[in-house]
């Protein structure tokens, strides 16, 4: 009887530890541009889009754009993936990824459109 409980609790504990580890591993904190540039781990940044500095590389299917944070610091972002539907109209963009050699390599981008679900009044 006791063995059963030990095994049961053991399995659940393993899961919890495993869950906690993957939680930590996949955690992406919001950081400023400066901090993002100093880190090599996966982070989340948010910034205002600079409309003139957007381009789509047809050869490699990469989307290039630049973000500006409130302090005026700039960040070049490269995103390989589907361009979000409302990208052109975005004011702010959240990018999740890593900073590497002068560019922020985004795995995921979220476009902030304030009125998506709510009317303007």
Partner 1 sequence: MVLGDLFLWLCFTGAVFSAFLFLLSTKGDKSIYSWGKKAYYLTFLFSLLATLLLFYLFLTHNFQTSYVFGYSSTDLPFFYLISSFWAGQEGTFLLWLFTGLLLGLFLINKKGNELQSYLLFFYLTAQIFLLVLLLKKSPFELLPETPLEGRGLNPLLKDPWMVSHPPLIFIGYAALAIPFAYALAALIKDKYDNWIKFSLPWIGFSALSLGAGIFVGGFWAYKVLGWGGYWGWDPVENASLIPWLTTIALFHGIILERNKESLKKSNLFLALISFLLVLYGTFLTRSGILADFSVHSFADLGINQYLIFFMLLFTAFSLGLLLFRSSKLKGAETGKSILSQDFVILLGIIFISLSAVLILVGTSAPIITGILGKASNVSVPYYIRTHLPLAIVLGLLLSFTPFLPWKEISVKTLSKTIALPLVIAIIFSIIAWISGVRKLSYFLFFFFSFFLVISNFMIFFKRLKGNLLNTAGYLTHIGIGFMFIGILTSSGFSKSVKLNLPKDEPKEAFGYQLVFQGSESLSPQEDKHLLVQVKKGKDNFIARPRLYWSEYNQAMMRKPHIKRKLAEDLYFAPLEYNQKEFIFSEPFSLSKGEEKEIEGYKIKFLSFVMRPHEQGGEFRVAAVLEVGHQDQKATATPAIIFKEQNQITQIEAQLPDDNLIFLEKVMADQKMVVLSIAQRKNESGEILVLEVSIKPLINILWLGMIVIMAGLFLTTWRRSREAKTNTHPK
Query: Does 102 help bind partner 1 (rule: CB under 8 A)?
Result: no
DSSP label of 51? G
First to last CA, the chain: 64
42, 49, 68, 105: residue in contact with partner 1 (rule CB under 8 A): 42
Q: Cα separation of 36 and 89, whole Å?
A: 25
Of all helices (H) and strands (E), which one includes residue 94? Answer: strand 92-100
Comparing CB distances to partner 1, the nearer of 54 and 73 is 54
Interface positions with partner 1 (CB under 8 A):
1, 4, 8, 12, 15-16, 18-19, 22-23, 25-31, 42, 44, 46, 56, 58-59, 61, 82-83, 85-89, 94, 96, 107-108, 110-121
């Amino acid at each position: 009887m006791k063995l059963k409980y030990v095994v049961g609790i053991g399995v659940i504990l393993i899961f919890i530890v495993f869950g906690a580890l993957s939680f930590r591993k996949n955690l992406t904190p919001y950081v400023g541009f400066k901090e993002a540039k100093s880190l090599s781990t996966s982070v989340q940044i948010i910034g205002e889009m600079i409309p003139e500095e957007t381009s789509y590389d047809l050869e490699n299917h990469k989307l290039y754009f630049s973000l500006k944070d409130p302090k005026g610091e700039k960040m070049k972002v490269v995103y390989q993936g589907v361009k979000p539907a409302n990208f052109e109209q975005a004011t702010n963009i959240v990018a999740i990824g890593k900073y590497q050699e002068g560019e922020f390599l985004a795995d995921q981008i979220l476009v902030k459109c304030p009125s998506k679900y709510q009317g303007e009044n």
